[in-house]
Chains A and B, each alone.
Chain A
Amino acid sequence: MTNQNDNKKHHRDIFIVWALLTVIGVLVGLYATPWLMPKSASHTMSMGILTMVIFTVAAAPVAALVYAVCLYALTIWRHRGEGVPADGPAIRGNGPATVLWLVGSTVLTLFLLIWGLGLLGSDQSAGAKASIEAANGGSAEITVDVTAQQWLWSFSYPGTHVKSLDLYLPVNKDVEFNVTSKDVVHGFWIVQMGIKVNANPGVITTTSVTPDKIGTYTIRCTEICGLDHAFMMTKVHVVSEADFQKWLASQPTRI
Chain B
Amino acid sequence: MSRSKTIGVALSSVLLGAGVLSLMGFGLASAQPHQPALTATPTGTRGHVALTISVYPDSQIGGNRGTGGAHPDWVSYSNDNLVVPANSVVDMTVKQYDTGGELNNSVFGNVFGTVGNTMNVNGKEVSSWDPTSIGHTFTLRGISGDGTRLMVSVPIPFDTNKGAENNGGGVEIAPMIVKFSFKTGGKGVYQWNCEFPCGGSRQGQFGEAMSTYGYMSGTLTVK
Contacts and interface: CB of A to CB of B under 8 A. Distances in A.
B104 A183 contact: yes
Contacts of A149: 104-105, 195, 204, 206
Interface string B180-223: 00000000000101010100001111100011110001000000
B117 interface: yes
Contact of A152 (B104, B127, B131, B141): B141
Contacts of B205: 183
Given A201-B204, A255-B110, A165 B127 contact: no
Chain B interface size, under 10 / 10 to 19 / 20 to 34 / 35 or more = 35 or more
B206 A228 contact: no
A231 B105 CA distance: 20
Nearest to B211: A227
Nearest to A153: B141
Contacts of A201: 203-204
Tell me the interface secondary structure of chain B in the complex.
mixed
Given A156-B107, A182-B105, A235-B143, A151 B193 contact: yes
Nearest to A201: B203
Given A150-B204, A228-B191, A254-B128, 20 more contacts: A149-B104, A149-B206, A150-B211, A151-B141, A152-B139, A154-B107, A165-B113, A183-B203, A183-B204, A184-B203, A201-B204, A227-B193, A227-B212, A227-B217, A228-B217, A231-B191, A234-B143, A235-B149, A254-B110, A255-B128
Interface of B: 104-110, 112-113, 117, 127-128, 130-131, 139, 141-143, 149, 151, 153, 191, 193, 195, 197, 202-206, 210-213, 217
Interface of A: 147, 149-152, 154, 156, 163-166, 182-184, 201, 226-228, 231, 233-235, 252, 254-255
